[in-house]
Structure 1
Amino acid sequence: MRAYADMHCDTLMKAFFEGEERLFEGQGMQSVSNMIKAGQLLQFFAVFFIPELDEETKKQAGFTREIPSDDEYYSELKSILYSQVEKHSDSIAIALSAEDVRKNKAAGKASAMLTLEDGRFLNGSLDKLRSVYDDGVRAIGLTWNGENCLGYPNSADKNIMEKGLKPFGFEAVEEMNRLGILVDVSHLSDGGFFDVAKTCKKPFIASHSSCRVLTDHQRNLTDEMIKIIASKGGVAGVNFAPEFVNIGEGDPKSRAEFIASHVLHMYKVGGEDIIALGTDFDGIHGDIEIKHPEEMELLFDILSKKGLSSSVLDKFASENVMRVLESI
C-alpha cells in the first residue's frame, strides 16, 4: 500500500457533531485509526464553515448541535484536531511543512495539516489571515458555494460563474503567497479561477475537484484549468463524490474505475506532476466504492493496470503534494 496524501476531508465537522473521539475512532470514512491502518502519509483536515440552514435541512444533514459563530466554531474544530493529535501522539503529529511530514514519517507517524474551506472566515481581514497561519493553517479554499469577502463561488448561474475575485481576494492571494498558505480554488467560480491564475505567484491547488469534460459539474475543472494549474506547478486532487466522477447515463455511483478515468484524464491533459488525491471523505454521500483509506489500494491497482508506472503512481500518491508544499 502506498503511503498517500489526501488534500481534503470533512472529518473535523463530523467530530464536532458526533464527539471529538470520532476523529480517532474510525467509525466514518476517515479517522486517525483509518490513516494508521492504511499507512497514510498525510491528511489535510478542513474546517468547513457551515452555511445558514433551516431546521429541516439541519436535521437531514445530521447536524445535532447548535452551530456557533464562525470564530467559536473554528476555535473548537482546531482544538479537536490539536487535542486528538496530542492524545494519540504515538501515531500522528501536526505538520506545518513538507519537512515536518518527512520527520513525522521517519518517527513512524502519520501527519495532519489544518486547512480552511471557505475564506468567509477571514471577514476581509489580513490580520485574521496571518493569525490562522500562526495557528497552523496551510491551505485555504477561497470560497465554498456562496459569495464571500474574497469572491464568488462555482454556480450553475452563468452570470455568477463569470464573476472573479473581489479586491480583498486579490490582497489575500498575495498575502497567502507571502506567508506560505496554499491557495485552493476547488469551490471558486470560473472567473475567480482565472483571477487566481493571473495573481498567484506560487503554485496553487484544486484540493478536491475532478474533470469537467468527463463529468459535467461546475465544481470540476475544465481542460484549460488543468493545463493552467500544471503550468503553475500546482496540483489537483481528484474528488470521490459520485456527482463529480460518475460517467455514463444512468450510473450515479462513484466507482473506482470512474475515479481512475478522471486521474488518467488529468494525467493526459496536465502531465504527471498535477495528479493527486482529494477524496472529500466525510463530506460526500451516495454509493461510493472507495469509502475509507484501507480501500485506496483498489484505485492504485486499477491505475497500474491501465499503464501508470510505479514512479508516476508515487507522484500521484504523495510526491506531487509534497513538492507543492515545499514550493510555498
Structure 2
Amino acid sequence: MRHQPGYGKDRGETDLPRLLESGVTAQFLAAYVDARYAQMRPDGSWDRAEAEIDTIHAFVRRHPDRLIAATTSRDVLRAKREGKVAVFIGVEGGHAIENSLARLDTLYAQGARYLTLTWNNGNDWAGSSIGVNGTRTGGLTNFGKAVVHEMNRLGMLVDVSHVSDSTFYDVIATSTDPVIASHSSARALGGHPRDMTDDMLRAVARNGGVVNVNFFAVFLDQKFAAATDSVKAQVADQAAEAARRPGADTARLRAEYERKSAELVHALPRPPLSMLIDHIDHVARVAGVDHVGLGSDFDGVDGLLPAGLRDVTDLPRIAQGLLDRGYTDADVTKMLGGNMLRVIEIVLDRKPASP
C-alpha cells in the first residue's frame, strides 16, 4: 500500500476499479516499510508494518463482493470461480520484525505470506543490494538464517528481491522451500545491483522458485538509468549551490528541487515495452519458463514504466508480447501466474504450523 486513498485513473497504477478491469485473479499487496522507519528512535518499523497490514485488511473488508483475503492457492481458485480478486499480503523490508522471531510469527498470524528480507536498507541480520544510510550489504547472520528457517516452518515465502548477492546465496543455501524474487529484473540486461545475475537466476531455478520481473524502467534499461542519474546529479548540484546563498530556506529549496528533478526525469524518453519483454524472455531462457513471473512494483516506481504500459489494465499487452515472441499459451499462462500458484501450493498450502 503505497499511496493515499482517492487515487483516480490519472494517478498511480493500481486501484480497485482498474484491478477489476485488468482481469487479474490474485494480487500481492505490499505492506511496505520505508528505510526511514528503521532510523527512528524508538524504531518505528514494526508499527508501520502493522498499520499497513491493517489498511490492507480494511480494504478487503470494504469490498466483500469483489475481494477475498487470501492465504492459500485454494483462495485463488475460489476467486476465479466467483469472479473476485484474491488479495495476498507481503511485508517488504525485514527490518519490520525488529529482530524478533515472535513478531515474524505475528505477521504470519495476521495473514502475511511473504517477507522481503531487506529493502534498500540492510538490517542487523541480512544485507541489502543498495545499503542506504550505511546499512549492511553482507550476508545472513545466524539470526538471519533462523529467520529463514522460521519462515520455512511457518509456510511463508522467502523473498530475495532487494537483498545483497551474498545474502541471496546464503538464503539459497539455507531455505528448504522454494523462494521468490517478488520484483527483480535481469542484471545481464539492466546492469543494476537490484537486478539478478544469470547465476542467481539459475540458482532460483534449481531451488524451484520464481523470479517475478520488475517493470521499473531504471532496472530495465541502462541508458535510461544513466540519464536519470545525470538529471538528478545536475539538479542536486543546483540545489547545493542555491542552499549556500545567505538566508536560503533549505527546506523550501529541497522540496522545490526534488519537484524539479522529478519533472525532468519524467520528461525523459522511456524504454519501449519490448525491453520489459526482453527481460522476461531472458529470465525464461536462463532459468526456464517454469521459473519466471511478473513483479510489476506498480505504485512503487514513481510512474517510471516502459512506454506503452500505463497501469494494471495494460497487462494483456505483456501477454501479447510474449505470444509474439513465440511462447505458447501454456507458457504464457505459467508466466502470468501459474508458476507463482505452483510455489504457493508448495509453500503456503501446508497445514497451519504448530505454536
Q: TM-score scaled to structure 2, two decimals?
A: 0.79
Q: Distance in 1 between matches of 2:131 and 2:211?
A: 22
Q: Is the counterpart of residue 319 in structure 1 residue 338 in structure 2?
A: yes
Q: Distance in 2 between matches of 1:296 and 1:40?
A: 9
Residue pair 2:183, 2:294 contacting (<8 A) in 1 also: yes
Q: List aligned pairs for 1:270-281, cutoff 5 A.
A: 270-281=287-298
Against the structure 1 CA distance between its residues 276 and 302, is the aligned structure 2 distance closer, same or farther, given a 3 Å change threshold? Answer: same
Q: Distance in 1 between matches of 2:131 and 2:162?
A: 12
Structure number with larger C-alpha Rg:
2
Deviations 1:295-316 (A, max 9, x none): 1111111111111111000000
Partner SS for 1:145:
coil
Deviations 1:50-98 (A, max 9, x none): 2229xxxxxxxxxxxxxx9333322222122111211111111110011
Structure 1 residue 149, shift from structure 2 partner = 2.8
Q: Which residue matches 1:80?
A: 55
Partner SS for 2:187:
coil
Structure 1 residue 256, shift from structure 2 partner = 1.2
Q: Distance in 2 between matches of 1:244 and 1:132?
A: 30
Q: Which residue matches 2:106?
A: 131
Structure 1 residue 247, shift from structure 2 partner = 5.5
Query: Which one of the candidate residues 306, 314, 335 is aligned to 1:288?
Result: 306
Structure 1 residue 174, shift from structure 2 partner = 0.4
Q: Distance in 1 between matches of 2:223 and 2:291?
A: 25
Q: Distance in 1 between matches of 2:189 and 2:46?
A: 38
Q: Distance in 2 between matches of 1:156 and 1:75?
A: 24
Q: TM-score scaled to structure 1, two decimals?
A: 0.85
Structure 1 residue 107, shift from structure 2 partner = 1.5
- The one-letter code of the counterpart of 2:203 is I
Structure 1 residue 287, shift from structure 2 partner = 5.2
- The one-letter code of the counterpart of 2:26 is L
Structure 1 residue 150, shift from structure 2 partner = 2.6
Q: Is the counterpart of residue 94 in structure 1 residue 69 in structure 2?
A: yes
Q: Distance in 1 between matches of 2:137 and 2:62?
A: 46
Deviations 1:224-259 (A, max 9, x none): 000010111100111011111126577862421000
Residue pair 2:117, 2:159 contacting (<8 A) in 1 also: yes
Q: Which residue matches 1:308?
A: 327
Q: Which residue matches 1:51?
A: 35
Against the structure 1 CA distance between its residues 87 and 156, is the aligned structure 2 distance closer, same or farther, given a 3 Å change threshold? Answer: closer
Question: How large is the RMSD of aligned CA atoms in angstroms?
Answer: 2.3
More helix by share: 2
Q: List aligned pairs for 1:178-327, cutoff 5 A.
A: 178-246=153-221, 253-285=270-302, 286=304, 288-289=306-307, 290-327=309-346
Greater shift in the superposed pair: 249-258 or 207-216 = 249-258
Against the structure 1 CA distance between its residues 172 and 252, is the aligned structure 2 distance closer, same or farther, given a 3 Å change threshold? Answer: farther
Q: How many residues align?
A: 297
Structure 1 residue 173, shift from structure 2 partner = 0.2
Q: Which residue matches 2:26?
A: 42
Against the structure 1 CA distance between its residues 180 and 308, is the aligned structure 2 distance closer, same or farther, given a 3 Å change threshold? Answer: same
Residue pair 1:183, 1:205 contacting (<8 A) in 2 also: yes
- State percent identity of aligned pairs: 31
Structure 1 residue 127, shift from structure 2 partner = 0.8
Greater shift in the superposed pair: 160-169 or 140-149 = 160-169
Q: Which consecutive residues of structure 1, in runs of 5 or more, have no partner in the other structure? A: 1-11, 54-67
Q: Distance in 2 between matches of 1:183 and 1:109?
A: 26
- The one-letter code of the counterpart of 2:116 is G
Q: Distance in 1 between matches of 2:108 and 2:171?
A: 19
Residue pair 1:150, 1:167 contacting (<8 A) in 2 also: yes
